[in-house]
Structure 1
Amino acid sequence: MKKIGLYLGTFNPIHNGHITLANYFANIIDLDEVWVVLTPQNPFKKKYNLIEDDYRLEMANNTFNHLKNIKVSDIEFKLDKPNYTIDTINRLSEDFPNKQFTLLIGEDNLANFHHWKDYSKILEVVEVFVYPRTTTTNVDNELINNKKIKILDAPKIEISSDEIRKKMKEGVDIKSYLPKVVYEYIIEKRLYS
């Protein structure tokens, strides 16, 4: 059975930190593939400068299409809204019964994981691998000690999509934070301006 890591996010925009983590997941930990799953809207966040799904999908495809063990998925664009992680996992498990899924989340998400819809069901059906974030968060000991949750020694990423969008509004050059193909696409389409 193939082991698939689900790396969910808005990727608004996708940046070098996302690529570093996706490569870490695909090549360092025990996964056969990583699926970069674009989310239409995080139910816990207000809609914020979120560009159209098609733009984000194209940037992700352009970023990862040359890598054999990292795939891009738009499954959440096709599900009813609001969509929750448990819905995505259930749908993927139905569509791909011969694959074993693992959820890949940031430590900031683990801090509010107990607020996620059906979080206990998520832990029944998948393992959750947690990568570090630069912000310190308090995490419930019950979650940290859960056998289905594994804390990874992944690289800490020093930049976020929020910060990149903010820098763009301030006129700061963001070229060094993005893959060339994404930077050129943003300029060509005049995104985030």
Structure 2
Amino acid sequence: MTALEKSIGILGGSFDPVHNGHLSIAQSFLDSDLIDQLWVLLAPDPPHKTGRTQTNYQLRFEMLQAAFKNFNGVKVSDLEKKLPQPSFTIQTLEYLEENYPEYTFRLCIGGDSLRDFKKWKDWQKILDHANLLVARRPSADIKNIDENIKNHLHFIDHEPVQISSTKIRDAVANGDDISGLVPSSVNKIIDNENLYRLKV
């Protein structure tokens, strides 16, 4: 990377819904000073998410925009919606490299994703297009990482927030309060659109 090139972090997901854990890890990536911007990409049809129908893409995108509205250095993007489905990381990175040659890209993932990384489609090719920026607990064991991956990653310390989109959907379905789990702007959309409630 030359001094003039910007380093862009890529954080992808289905964000169904986006929650405070996502915001926390995004802030950790931004605070690392290893990227100039963080692009948050909403996946229309993640290949690893099966067994349930995703919430309407536009509503998920609206929630994502609302959640990151006041974040400096974050760009929320729907570019994966324009790519062939399902959404594979390798094709997204190839698209970005071709269309944004002035940038270098880092793929931002959590420690759980790193453990499964060799199961990703064309994982070796992914490393040809982007290095990995991995958020992990300071106490995490990193001894058993494949050498081919280790040469393409950088760790940042991050204490994960124990929230999941699945738990939030279940909580809403049960009528539980989620105000401490998602930004208020996202909670408002969930309420207004009657999302995740049991259909009777």
Stretches of structure 2 lacking an aligned partner (at least 5 in a row): none
Runs of 4 or more consecutive aligned structure 1 residues displaced over 6 Å after TM superposition: 136-139
For the residue of structure 2 that corresponds to 1:190, the secondary structure is coil
In the alignment, which residue of structure 2 is the partner of 1:80?
Answer: 84
Within 5 Å, which residues of 2 pair with 1:92-131? 92-131=96-135
Instruction: Report whether the alignment pairs 1:53 with 2:57.
Output: yes
The amino acid across from 2:173 in the alignment is K
- Point out the more displaced range, 136-145 or 9-18: 136-145
> Whose radius of gyration is greater, 1 or 2?
2
The 1:158/1:8 distance shift into structure 2, 3 A limit, reads: same
* TM-score of the superposed pair, with normalisation by structure 2: 0.88
RMSD after superposition: 2.1
Does residue 183 (structure 1) correspond to residue 187 (structure 2)? The answer is yes
Does the 8 Å CA contact 2:38/2:73 hold for their aligned counterparts?
Answer: yes
Q: Deviations over 1:28-57 (max 9, x none)?
A: 331100011111122122142420110010
Q: Are residues 143 and 36 of structure 1, via their aligned partners in 2, closer, same or farther at CA, if it must alter by over 3 Å?
A: farther
CA contact (8 A) 1:62 1:181 kept: yes
Deviation string 1:15-37 (CA, Å, 9 cap, x unpaired) is: 11111111221133311000111
Q: TM-score, normalised by structure 1?
A: 0.91
Q: Taking structure 1 as reference, are residues 165 and 22 closer, same or farther at Cα in structure 2, changes over 3 Å only? A: same
Residues matched between the structures, number: 191
SS in 2 for 1:8: strand
* Distance apart, 1:7 and its partner CA: 0.5
Q: SS in structure 2 opposite 1:100?
A: strand
Q: What residue identity is the alignment partner of 2:10? A: L
